[in-house]
Structure 1
C-alpha cells in the first residue's frame, strides 16, 4: 500500500466514524420517494417530461471554471482534498473531507485505468468525487432532495439531489473557492440499459439534471448535436472508469464491512466483506458495484476569495441565472453568459 492509499483509507475510515455518530433521521411517510420503482412506460414518459421541462443546457464554459481548474491543477489536480458540507433531514449541518476526482464527462487519465473510455465529446462544469452508498452523506443527499428518499432508496441506486457546499482552499494561490448547488449520485447498475425493475425516478432525475450541465466540446469531431452524442456516450462506462481510476486498494475499500456498523455485529463473510482487500474491474466486483457511487455537484453559485494581496483582497460571486434554472443571485450584477457576477468586500 503506497502513501496515497494510506491517506485515502484513513480519511474514509474517519468519515465513516463521523457520519454515523447521529441516529438515523426519519422521513415523513407522506413524502413521495425520489427513488420509487416505476414501470418501463412510466420511466419513458418521465424522461420525456424531464427533457421537455429541464432548463437549457449552458452553451459555454462557466466564467469561473478555467481559473478554478488552473488552481486545482496547481494544487495537485484529481486527488486534491476538499470539504463537503451537507444537512441532515432534521436540519443538522454535517461536514467531511472528500477527494476531488475531476469534472464530470472529462475524467482525468490515470495509470491504473486500462478500460475503454467514452469518446471525448462532452464536458461540464460539475466537480465530482466518489463515495460508498452506505455512507451517511449518501442518505443525507437523498433525504434532503426534492423526493425525500429514505435509507433503503439511498442504498439501492442513482438519485439524491440534496443541497451541498464544497470548499476548496488553494494554498499556492491563497484563494478559497466555495461551490454551492445540488449533489447527485450515479450507480452503474440502474443508470442505463438496466432491467425495467432497476429503472426508477431517481435515475430519470439524475440524467435530466446532470445532463443539462453537459455540453458538446468545442472542436468535437462530430458536431451532429447533443441528442446524437447521447447515443454514443455511455453513463455506465463513465461510472466504471471512475472506479478504474482508483487504486486497487481503494477499489477494495468498497468491499469493506458497512461503515459505522458496530464491530460486535461482525461482517458478512459470505458476501465477501473484509478490510484491506483489492478489487479489479467494477463489472467483475458484485459487492463493490453495489456500493460504489459517483457523486456529481451541479453548481448554482460559486465564490472565489482571493487573499493574495492583503491590500486588494477580493470576493467574486457567480450565480447561475434564473433563465437557466439558477437562483439569480445578488443584484446589481454583470451578466456573463448564463451566469451573473458581482464583486464584494471579502
Structure 2
C-alpha cells in the first residue's frame, strides 16, 4: 500500500487554521459509504468532534496532569506535525467497517459560520490505537503513516534524542487523555447500536462509568484515533456574497522523486 502524502506543509493549512481558531468548539461532518441489507452502496453521515491535526493536540490541564502522572515523560516531545486530520471513535461503531470495506474513502466537511466559510476534505482514513501487538494491519501501516509526519518548523530540541522518545502508543494515549473521565468511560459502554433489551455478556460493559486510568484495558480495547490523509481540499468563502470565492487544492503524486514518492499540491480557483 502506498499512501498519498506531501512532505511539505500543505498550502491550505495556515488558512484553515486561521478559520478554526476563530471558531469555538468546532465539529465536522464525516461521510462514508455503507451497504444496505441488499448489498447496495448507501451514504452514511455523522458529526464528529475534530481533534486537530495529528499529533498536534493541545491537552486541557486535567488531561495533561493525567499524562504527567501516568505516561513516561508526560507523553511525546513536541516534535512532529502533519496535515492529517484526527478524530476519535469506538472500534465497535460502523464507520470503521465502512472505511475498510470501501478502500478507506472518506469526506469531511466543516461549516464555520463565524467566518462564513465551508471546507471540504476528501481523502483516505485509517484508524490507529489497536492495543494488540499482533495486529498486522496497523503495525504494517504505521511506517507509511510516519512518512506523513514532519518536524515542526519552530522545533529547536535534540532531534535524534526526541525522535527516539516518540512512540505511537504515547500519541494515541494523549488523545485518550484528552477525553474527560466520563467520555473515557463511554468506551466501556455496551456495544453501540445493539438493542438495549440485550444485556452484554461482559459485566464490565455498562453505562455511566468514569475512567481515570489511561491504560484501562477494556476502554482502550475499543478506543481508536482515525487519521484522514487529505487528497483534495475545497474552500467555499461566502463572507462576501457579491464575490463568492471557491478554491480547490489537489494532491498530485510524483512517484519518481529521488527521495521517494512525494505529493505536490496544485491550487485552482473555480466557480462557486
Q: Give TM-score scaled by structure 2 length.
A: 0.87
CA deviation map 1:192-214 (0-9, x unaligned): xx3xxx14033312x13422221
Greater helix fraction, Structure 1 or Structure 2: 1
Q: Is 1:202 matched up with 2:141?
A: no
Q: Is 1:265 matched up with 2:265?
A: no
Match of 1:59 among 7, 29, 43: 7
- 1:142 CA displacement: 1.4
Greater RCO (CA < 8 Å, at least 6 residues apart): 2
Q: Aligned partners of 2:192 and 2:135: how far apart in 1?
A: 27
- 1:217 CA displacement: 1.1
- The answer for the alignment partner of 2:210 in structure 1 is 278
- 1:229 CA displacement: 5.7
Greater strand fraction, Structure 1 or Structure 2: 2
Q: Is 1:98 matched up with 2:33?
A: no
Q: Is 1:129 matched up with 2:77?
A: no
Length, aligned pairs only: 254
CA RMSD of aligned residues (A): 2.1
- 1:223 CA displacement: 7.0
- 1:231 CA displacement: 2.9
- 1:70 CA displacement: 1.5
- 1:123 CA displacement: 0.2
CA deviation map 1:20-74 (0-9, x unaligned): xxxxxxxxxxxxxxxxxxxxxxxxxxxxxx7xx666x633211101111111121
- 1:248 CA displacement: 1.0
Which deviates more from structure 2 when the two are superposed, residues 95-104 or residues 181-190? 181-190
- The answer for the alignment partner of 2:266 in structure 1 is 340
- 1:188 CA displacement: 4.6
- 1:238 CA displacement: 0.8
Which deviates more from structure 2 when the two are superposed, residues 229-238 or residues 166-175? 229-238
Q: Aligned partners of 2:195 and 2:241: how far apart in 1?
A: 49
Q: Is 1:301 matched up with 2:232?
A: yes
Structure 1: 5+ residue stretches without partners: 1-49, 146-161, 326-336
CA contact (8 A) 2:105 2:123 kept: yes
- The answer for the alignment partner of 1:184 in structure 2 is 126
CA contact (8 A) 1:257 1:267 kept: yes
- The answer for the alignment partner of 1:118 in structure 2 is 76
Question: Where does 1:30-109 land on structure 2 (aligned, <5 Å)?
Answer: 58-76=6-24, 79-88=25-34, 90-109=40-59
Structure 2: 5+ residue stretches without partners: 68-73, 257-262
Q: Give TM-score scaled by structure 1 length.
A: 0.69
- The answer for the alignment partner of 1:38 in structure 2 is none
- 1:224 CA displacement: 5.0
CA contact (8 A) 1:210 1:298 kept: no
Question: Where does 1:131-170 land on structure 2 (aligned, <5 Å)?
Answer: 131-145=89-103, 162-170=104-112
Secondary structure of 2:61's counterpart equals coil
